A and B are shown apart, each in its own frame.
Chain A
Amino acid sequence: MAKVVVVTSGKGGVGKTTTTAAMGAALANLGQKVVVIDFDVGLRNLDLMMGAERRVVYDLINVIQGVAKLPQALIRDKRIDTLALLPASQTRDKDALTEEGVRRVITALRQMFDWVICDSPAGIERGATLAMRFADTAIIVTNPEVSSVRDSDRIIGLLDAKTLKAERGERVDKHLLITRYDQPRAARGEMLTIDDVLEILSTPLLGIIPESEEVLRASNLGSPITLNNPNSGAARAYFDAARRLMGEDIAMTVPVEKVGLFGKLFGRRAA
């Protein structure tokens, strides 16, 4: 039975798209059939993170409006053949995203894949509520920072009220993914700790992604970090999170970046 996952946060710039690409690639690498969908109509970026921006012909809106068939719009990943992308439209016509259309597309994708991962736009408007509408599971991406935590709290409220599951009296399975975590700064009292965030949001933790220069590098190259540098601390943290999502019991650690002697001598600190 396929699982529909929404990657959401409320606040922009916390790492939703990076997480969608990294988790999608990690799950596919673990042998799962995965499709990632971009819900950010007008500001699509998931195609860039996946390195597929030049292969976009049809998009989600085209499928909803019947201009293209679903298999025509799906872009199969060139690196992993069990991974596919359904891009968002770059036009500004957001009203084309209808609840009925999204329901039809997700129902069809459930038959074709093990995981349907919906990359939500920032905010709490139509795009964001439709991205979460049919979700079984939610990954709430949060930075250890006040505005991000506040917005996550708001999104958790929406997940408990505005999703189809919530309206049926069921519950969306919610998981917190803390990204851009800087362990040394948290230890020095300069950053909210994992315990602080968990206590405030009281939502189970899926993973802790350390702040890493490798994330920008992967984005520059158009390759999900879990494919581009699977040994980096961030990629290992994403792989752990993917395994937990699949139900494996894995101890919660913050994988650290391995720095060689050369890096220690000449490496620059992340800003």
Chain B
Amino acid sequence: MNLFSLFRRPSSAPVARDRLQILLAQDRTGQGFSDLLRVLREDILAVVRRHMDIDFDRVNVQVGHGEKLSMLEIAVEIPDGFQAPRRASRRKRTPVPARRRG
């Protein structure tokens, strides 16, 4: 440190570079993810529709980025009053393995 550095503001370019590097890493994986999510959504929809009649916009797939881990969240809304078909071997009605958002 010399006398002049007392009067000089700290340089901002290295901050810009670091912010960009982190941001673009996120942007780039984000775009990859959005493609993955679209494919996942279509696949999940196809499977669920084999068993029940649901709308195309009733499947919500998203990735939440946390500090330590990211979470893949899949939410499928099922129509009101939907009843699972009875199975021949069991008398009891099987619960539908789907959860609502929220």
Measured CB to CB, the residues of A under 8 A from B are 145-146, 149-150, 153-154, 157, 186, 188-193, 196, 200
The answer to whether A146 and B31 touch (CB under 8 A), given A189-B11, A189-B13, is no
Tell whether B3 is near chain A: CB-to-CB under 8 Å: no
Question: Whose C-beta in chain A lies nearest to the C-beta of B19?
Answer: A146
CA distance A200 to B28 in the complex (A): 12
Overall SS of chain B's interface: helix
Residue of A nearest to B11 (CB): A189
Residue among A189, A190, A192 with most chain B CB within 10 A:
A189
B27 within 8 A of A: yes
Q: Are B27 and A200 in contact (CB under 8 A)?
A: no
| Given A186-B13, A196-B13, 19 new contacts (CB under 8 A) | A145-B16, A146-B23, A150-B23, A150-B27, A153-B24, A154-B27, A157-B28, A157-B31, A188-B11, A189-B12, A189-B14, A190-B11, A191-B13, A192-B13, A192-B17, A196-B16, A196-B17, A200-B20, A200-B24
Which residues from A are CB-within-8-Å of B23?
Answer: 146, 150
Given A146-B19, A157-B31, answer yes or no on A193-B24 (Cβ-Cβ < 8 Å).
no
Query: 29 interchain pairs (CB within 8 A)?
Result: A145-B16, A146-B19, A146-B20, A146-B23, A150-B20, A150-B23, A150-B24, A150-B27, A153-B24, A153-B28, A154-B27, A157-B28, A157-B31, A188-B11, A189-B11, A189-B12, A189-B14, A190-B12, A190-B13, A191-B13, A192-B13, A192-B16, A192-B17, A192-B20, A193-B13, A196-B13, A196-B16, A200-B17, A200-B21
Neighbouring A residues of B12 by C-beta, 8 Å: 189-190
> Which residue of the partner chain B has the closest CB to A147?
B20
8 Å CB contacts to A: which residues of B16-65?
Answer: 16-17, 19-21, 23-24, 27-28, 31
A196 CA to B18 CA in the complex, in Å?
10
Interface of A is mostly: helix
Q: B6 → chain A, closest Cβ, in Å?
A: 16
Give the chain A neighbours of B21 by CB distance below 8 A: 200
- Residues of chain A within 8 A of B27, CB atoms compared: 150, 153-154
Chain B positions within 8 Å of A196 at CB level: 13, 16-17
Give Cα A190 to B24, complex, Å: 21
Given contact pairs A154-B27, A157-B31, A149 touches B20 in the complex (Cβ within 8 A)? yes
